Amino acid sequence: MYICPHTFKDGSGKKVTQVYFWVGDDVPVSTVEDASIFVSREARALGGKLVKLQQGKETPEFLQALGGIVIVQRGSGNKFDSLAPHMLCGRRYHGHVVFDEVDFTPASLCSGFPYVVTTSGKCYLWKGKGSGVDELSCARLIGMDFALSGEMEEIEDGHEPASFWDLFDVSSKAVSADHWRLKPNYDKYCSRLFYSDADSKQQIIEISPFSQTDLQPAGIYVLDAFFELYIIVGSRAQSHYASFHNALDFAQEYAIIAAGMEDRPFVPFSTVVLEGIPRDMKSVFRKWRDAESPTVTNVNTGLKRGRSLRVVPLNQALQALSD
């Protein structure tokens, strides 16, 4: 947990003070509640408005207060081992650049983003084909702090030397969708999450900012990943016919409108996700845990089968509903 007071001038030139209370995902709820009294007292003493932020849902103002480049690492800050293996994924987020620690495995690499990989004092920059100029610049900047020698080796996506793969204990190499290479060409690239609720007045509700915790097993969602559109059906939402129908209709119309208004290279391909989670969809989220997946998943058995994936193209789903 961290407290960050920030004083700035708003649009009218008025001096404003906000006190940010940032809470990491691994902090117990009871600990947060115990600290809330102290945090509220500090905010009053500073004469600022208290703003509570959860990891992965930082506001643009908070990111700006920290200088526009933010690194979120796992574990406790006082136990950080600079020589231990670490991998950070960098991406644009609300006009700034954030780096989130991910699992130290090739499976975490996605061609849409740059990754700073460090181990035993050595530092590497894996440059995904879809990395933006600002994302790469920030990755080089923070890489200088992680490389004990001050030097960082840059690795091109698709042209990795054997020595790079030797850093990992596994031999498998994940492959990303080809569309990620188009990402730097589109300034309007972004991702959005919508919740379909037939019982509400709005029917379709946008969730912003969003994270994996917003995906509940009892809900149906539409994820705009810019080049693709996913209709996500929670494991306990398969009987919500009206919300499902609304999500399909919305996705069909939204894909066409978004492609035209944002000058996308093509109308996003829309997929209904019924079981498992597509790999490239996970990469849209800053943090993803398979154990908290909202869809139906197959638990490993003695047959050593992994999680299955069951997806249906949007046009087939619409056809099935009309029959």
**What pLDDT digit, counting tens, does each position of 26-54 carry?**
899 999 999 999 999 999 998 889 999 99
Residues 215 and 279 in one domain: yes
Nearest to 248 by CA among 267, 273, 278: 273
Residue 91 three-state SS: strand
Amino acid at 128: G
Indicate if the alpha-carbon torsion angle 150, 156, 161, 162 is positive or negative: positive
Tokens of 164: 């790079």
186, part of any domain: no
Cis amide linkage into residue 184, ω under 30° from 0: no
- Cα angle: 20, vertex 26, 42; to 5 degrees: 25
Which CATH number goes with the domain that contains 4?
Answer: 3.40.20.10
Q: Kindly tell me if the per-residue pLDDT of 251 is higher than 70.
A: yes
Residues 171 and 252 in one domain: no
Residues 220 and 166 in one domain: no
Residues 269 and 246 in one domain: yes
pTM of the full structure: 0.88
Q: What is the pLDDT of residues 56-93, one digit of tens each?
A: 999 998 999 999 999 999 876 665 666 788 999 999 99
Q: Which domain holds residue 44?
A: 1-54
CB 130 within 8 A of CB 114: no
